[in-house]
Structure 1
Amino acid sequence: MKDVQTMLIMRASKVAAVAAIAFFASLVAFGNITDYQTNFNFVFHVFEMDTIFPDATIKYRAITNPALQHAAYMLIIAAETATAILCWIGAVRLARRLRADAATFNRSKGVAVAGLTLGFLVWQVGFMSVGGEWFGMWMSQQWNGVPDAFRFFVTILAVLIYLSLKDDELA
């Protein structure tokens, strides 16, 4: 069995990792809200599919209705914001139970797991699958967010896996 100090450090590192994702999602959501038009341009071009390969036969998938484009962008912002909020709440709950028994600490992971899972879904499903594959974002020289989305969701997934590891008793 590990000593108490080591276990506390491991628990604290899980809190810090969840808080780091909360901070990241907060910055992304804040940027999308406060610089709406600049970031909307990205969504616009992905949905319009106007910068994918000229001979691509998937252009029929484009969404050119501005109301639908804005609605989808607002949904993205809402999901990013919810990711941040859930991860912040999760980090606080974990921090408050840092010295609790193992069962209590492990049970307190739920909200953080929900936030991390939502974040994973935003960047993996939303950006990699829908944006990257359905709208062919990977074909765009200028509006390809696939590499960034991959970095984001792999980082979130790593934190989710780490957090999900069961914690032992402190004593």
Structure 2
Amino acid sequence: MSDWLSDQAGYVWLIIAALLAICELLIPGVYLTFIALGAAATGILALVFPELGAIGQFISFAAWSTVAVVVGKRWYGANPVPSADPDLNNRAARMIGQSVTVVEPISGGTGRVRVGDGEWPAEGPDLAAGDKARIVAVRGGVVVVEAVKAIEADLPDQPRDDQTQSKG
């Protein structure tokens, strides 16, 4: 049995590589992919060089796995996967741009605003309670706000009634 197993070592390494690749599909991350590449490289070497003993195969596996991990880490570090929503778990960053209501007057640069169903300490220009503001930044647990001006419609100049009447 032992002779048969040593004769089939290349196939055993390829089976191990396939099992590691399957496990990679079940486990989040990409670490097992690189170990599977090391096992596959060792399997190919064991098929090409059948005289390679068990010690040589383990050294080959360790070396190829290390190379694959180092190359993979460098590649993933240089090419990060972009997030569809980078602020997904950053509540403070998600608040930027929201309109809020001042609940405690902002006087001397500090006050409180209502954000959603909670209140946050705020910094910004002097505003009275009830005024509307917009969050422009977040520093730690303090929101930085700016006053929101009433929007005036940009209408073309309309002639006044006294200008439309003909002089006569």
| Bigger proportion of residues as helix | 1
Per the TM superposition, whether the score is higher than 0.5 is no
Higher relative contact order (CA 8 A, sep 6+): 1
Q: Which has the larger Rg?
A: 2
Q: TM-score, normalised by structure 1?
A: 0.28
| Bigger proportion of residues as strand | 2
